[in-house]
Chain A
Amino acid sequence: MKLEWFVAFFFIPTASLLAKKTTAASSTKWWSMVLSPSMTNSVTDTQGIINIIDPKLKILNKRQRRLVSQNRGTLAAINRAVKMAVSECRYQFKERRWNCPTFNKDRGPESLFGKILNSGCRETSFIYSITSAAVTHSVARSCSEGTIESCTCDYKFRGDSGNDWEWGGCSDNADFGHRFGKKFVDSGEKGRDLRHAMNLHNNEAGRKTVSSEMRRECKCHGMSGSCTIETCWMRLPTFRTVGELIKERFDGASRVTMRNDGSPSDRETESSFVPYNPSHKQPASRDLVYFENSPDFCERNDKFGTPGTRGRECNATSLGVDGCDLMCCSRGSTTTEIKVKERCSCTFHWCCKVKCEECTSFRTVHRCL
């Protein structure tokens, strides 16, 4: 019964939307696995691996399903990746008019980030980049956690033989994260138009950000602890660092347009587009690209599916985008004083709270009209 519910919930809306028109969102259905009720519970079963024969796989395409079933444990990693991406996106955009709103349930699976994905604006490029980076990051993390078995020694890519491990150890987990991420995330982008080229580029930019932020740490363990023998490894960056860097690239994203020499590029690489402004240089591999200007996000916009800034909290003293003037698009704001109950003077142990008191304070809140 549960299965049928899942199919009804995910598959039917997907199918009906696909039938209407193929949109960019068709490749990104996997994002919505985070909405699946069984997945939102982050406590894994005793095996530590989420069962792969799961109806929510309907939201994956054939290639993704094959990848996931070949690499046990990746599904949980992808699920966590989407959550990481959403929360990081919200964090990075919390002071902007578009604050990375997500939608669930009502609108069908591809609408996790809303209709903004159907456009080709800066925000879209950020979403693609951060989700792709999250998959790479999360899969690499799961590898070092030991919940994905196929990554630590990638026998599949080097033929069989368990000898590899005994003979020469294993390659870095981030390598697997990158390769898996590329296969999984890019698998839906099959078109040859500018949108697909843009998405592929932004996906790769996200992954590259993760790999290039890997930090090298070393340990000397030669004779008497000297550095004649030194072993180094790569440490995964925190996802906050990755988010911050992608946000920087978002701020400096370059607008591109289709190559106008009429030669249809036969490969979906960055060579299929050129800078919108011919005097700008070709975007680098870690730069974000977009081809459509963003709306101002002030009012509800049905084309982009954005709710506008009505009712958003703003900062009366700030002159930046989070200030009431800019945030509310000069519509003005209301000021209310609210009573907040907070936990305070907590004592902590290294991980968990021990005890807190409850304090009451008053806070002035400004909200956009």
Chain B
Amino acid sequence: MNYFELFSLSPSFELDTALLSERYRELQRAVHPDKFANASEQDKRLAVQHTAQVNDGYNTLKHPISRAEHMLSLKGIDLSHESTTVKDTMFLMQQMEWREALEEINDSDDPDEAIEHLHQSFGEYRREIMALLAQKIDSDEASVLEQAADLVRKLKFMDKLQAELERAEDALF
């Protein structure tokens, strides 16, 4: 399933999210099971299936990481079933540093400040990778696409870190 086609959008990483949301709502109006509350069981089943697909497409395209993954899979690079590994030593060092910082939040004099600081550095780093990804992913060259795949893997690492940071934040309340 090519979700860009489903939403009638051009397959580009830089996506007009307002337009995506607009199309999403239009499609939902056409296929949502509530529009078939009085229809036959067959129509209802079909409506559920189509709506599930529209929902999946929307969620895939809405988030930059899954959008990038979807674009790569359309170009023959499937990341969804691999266990994420990154070989970039600099990147791994940085990850370890951040993990240590996460563990030390509780011992810090001002945990709120420590969390805010980490939020900022994560955000900056993500923006950097994202900008690089936008340059590479629209390419058709295999080697460039491999670089893009690597950037997506890095973003997945960052997602996990971000989730851990949020858990640490939760624990403070």
* A and B physically associate: no
